[in-house]
C-alpha cells in the first residue's frame, strides 16, 4: 500500500497505467475506491492517480479545522511527490471545489478540469443535511438508517424507485472498508461550508467540462449553470433525470465524456 508523507499526513494513493496523468479527487467522506470503475477503461491511455483526501479513506484524519485550500495543497504536494508537473483533473462534488482551488492558486499544475456535480458555494440545504447526518451518527442511530436518509440526496428518483438499487447501495455503503471517523467528517464538513469560488471563478483559465444531474438535490443544476456562465472556458453537460452521483448512475457515459474531453485537449 503506497503512502506519501505529505503535510504531516500519511496520504494513501494509487497509480494505474501510463501516459498523460489524470488526477481523480473524491467527494465528501468518500475515498479512492469511488474511481476504481474508471480504471480499466482509462489505464491503457493515461496514468491515473487516485488518492484519499485528508480525513477520509486510509489517509490520516488530523483534528479540524480543514479547508479546501489545504486539501488543494495536499493534492499538489502529492503531484510533487510523484514528479507530476501538470495533469488533467477530475473531481466530484467536494472534489470539484478542490479542482477549482488548484486552478486558481496553482494554474500551472492543471491542464483540463472535469467537474462532476460542481458548485461555487454549497447550498445551505445541503450543508444542513450534512450537519444533521453528523448529529444522527453522534446519537448512535444505526448506520443503515442514517445511510437510508442520505440516499435521496445522492441518487435520482428514477434510481431509488427500484428497491433493489436502494438495498444494494445501503449494503455497499454500510460495508465500506474505510468508514470515515468523526474528526474527518467534521473537518471535511467545515471545509465544504467555508468554500466559495464566486470571487475568483471568472479568473480560471483552464478549460472545464461540467457534468450536472438534472435531479441533483445536493448540488442542484443551478450551481453548475452558475459556474458555466462565469467560467471563461467551459462546457456543460446535463444528465436528464440523474441525481448527485452522476458517475454511479451513468458510469459509462461519464467515462466516455472524460475520454472525449481529455483527448481533444491533447490533440489525439
Does residue 72 have a pLDDT over 80? yes
Percent of the chain having pLDDT more than 70?
A: 98
114-126 per-position pLDDT tens digit: 999 999 999 999 9
Does residue 268 have a pLDDT over 60? no
Q: How many domains does the chain have?
A: 1
- The domain spanning residue 134 has which CATH number? 3.40.50.1820
Structural domain boundaries enclosing 40: 3-266
- Cα-Cα-Cα-Cα dihedral sign, residues 55, 245, 199, 75: positive
Q: What is the mean pLDDT of residues 153-173?
A: 97
Q: How far apart are CA 204 and CA 201, in angstroms?
A: 6
Residue 14 pLDDT level (bands cut at 50, 70, 90): very high
**pTM of this prediction?**
0.97
Three cell numbers, residue 41: 477503461
- Give the residue carrying C-alpha cell 444542513: 128
Average pLDDT, the chain: 96
Q: What is the mean pLDDT of residues 57-76?
A: 98
Does residue 243 have a pLDDT over 60? yes
3 state DSSP class of 156: coil
Q: Which residues make beta-bridge pairs with 110?
A: 87
Q: Which pLDDT score, from 0 to 100, does residue 212 have?
A: 98
Three cell numbers, residue 267: 490533440
Q: Which pLDDT score, from 0 to 100, does residue 47 have?
A: 97
CB 256 within 8 A of CB 230: no
Cβ neighbours, 10 Å, residue 213: 27
Three cell numbers, residue 27: 467527494
Instruction: Classify residue 30 as exposed, middle or buried by CB count within 10 Å of its CB (0-12, 13-18, 19+).
Output: buried
Q: How far apart are CA 99 and CA 89, in angstroms?
A: 7
Q: How far apart are CA 7 and CA 70, in angstroms?
A: 9
Q: How far apart are CA 226 and CA 135, in angstroms?
A: 31
Concatenate the DSSP letters of all residues of 3-36 into one string: EEEETTEEEEEEEES-SEEEEEE--TT--GGGGH
Strands (E), the chain: 3-6, 9-16, 20-25, 46-51, 87-92, 110-116, 208-213, 234-239
Q: How far apart are CA 57 and CA 30, in angstroms?
A: 7
What's the CA angle centered on 259, arms 257 and 262, to 5 degrees? 105
Does residue 21 have a pLDDT over 50? yes
Does residue 29 have a pLDDT over 50? yes
Q: Which pLDDT score, from 0 to 100, does residue 267 have?
A: 40
Cβ neighbours, 10 Å, residue 260: 12
- Identify the DSSP state of 206: S
Percent of the chain having pLDDT more than 90?
A: 97
Does residue 200 have a pLDDT over 70? yes
Q: Which of 37-41, 68-72, 196-200, 230-234 has the lowest mean pLDDT?
A: 37-41
Q: Which is nearest to 122 in space by CA: 229, 231, 226?
A: 226
- Cα-Cα-Cα-Cα dihedral sign, residues 69, 73, 76, 82: negative
Does residue 150 have a pLDDT over 60? yes
Q: Which pLDDT score, from 0 to 100, does residue 264 have?
A: 82
Does residue 176 have a pLDDT over 90? yes
Does residue 266 have a pLDDT over 90? no
Q: How far apart are CA 12 and CA 65, in angstroms?
A: 20
3 state DSSP class of 211: strand
Q: What is the mean pLDDT of residues 45-59?
A: 97
Does residue 95 have a pLDDT over 70? yes
201-211 per-position pLDDT tens digit: 999 999 999 99
Does residue 24 have a pLDDT over 80? yes
Q: Which pLDDT score, from 0 to 100, does residue 265 have?
A: 52
Amino acid at each position: 500500500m503506497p503512502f506519501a508523507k505529505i503535510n504531516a499526513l500519511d496520504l494513501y494513493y494509487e497509480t494505474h497505467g501510463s501516459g498523460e496523468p489524470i488526477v481523480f479527487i473524491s467527494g465528501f467522506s468518500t475515498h479512492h475506491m469511488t474511481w476504481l470503475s474508471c480504471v480499466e477503461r482509462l489505464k491503457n491511455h493515461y496514468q491515473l492517480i487516485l488518492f484519499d483526501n485528508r480525513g477520509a479513506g486510509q489517509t490520516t484524519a488530523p483534528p479540524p479545522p480543514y479547508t479546501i485550500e489545504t486539501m488543494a495543497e495536499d493534492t499538489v504536494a502529492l503531484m510533487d511527490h510523484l514528479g507530476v508537473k501538470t495533469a488533467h483533473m477530475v473531481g466530484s462534488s467536494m472534489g470539484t471545489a478542490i479542482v477549482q482551488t488548484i486552478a486558481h492558486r496553482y494554474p500551472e499544475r492543471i491542464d483540463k478540469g472535469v467537474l462532476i456535480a460542481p458548485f461555487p458555494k454549497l447550498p445551505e440545504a445541503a450543508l444542513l443535511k450534512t450537519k444533521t447526518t453528523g448529529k444522527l451518527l453522534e446519537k448512535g442511530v444505526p448506520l443503515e438508517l442514517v445511510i437510508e436518509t442520505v440516499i435521496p440526496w445522492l441518487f435520482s428518483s428514477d434510481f431509488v424507485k427500484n428497491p433493489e438499487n436502494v438495498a444494494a447501495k445501503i449494503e455497499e455503503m454500510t460495508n465500506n472498508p474505510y468508514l470515515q471517523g468523526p474528526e474527518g467528517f467534521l473537518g471535511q464538513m467545515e471545509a465544504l461550508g467555508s468554500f466559495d469560488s464566486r470571487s475568483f471563478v471568472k479568473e480560471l483559465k483552464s478549460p472545464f467540462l461540467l457534468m450536472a444531474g438534472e435531479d441533483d438535490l445536493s448540488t442542484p443544476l443551478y450551481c453548475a449553470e452558475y459556474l458555466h456562465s462565469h467560467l471563461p472556458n467551459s462546457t456543460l453537460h446535463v444528465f436528464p433525470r440523474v441525481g448527485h452521483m452522476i458517475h454511479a448512475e451513468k458510469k459509462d457515459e461519464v467515462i466516455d465524456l472524460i475520454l472525449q474531453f481529455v483527448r481533444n485537449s491533447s490533440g489525439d
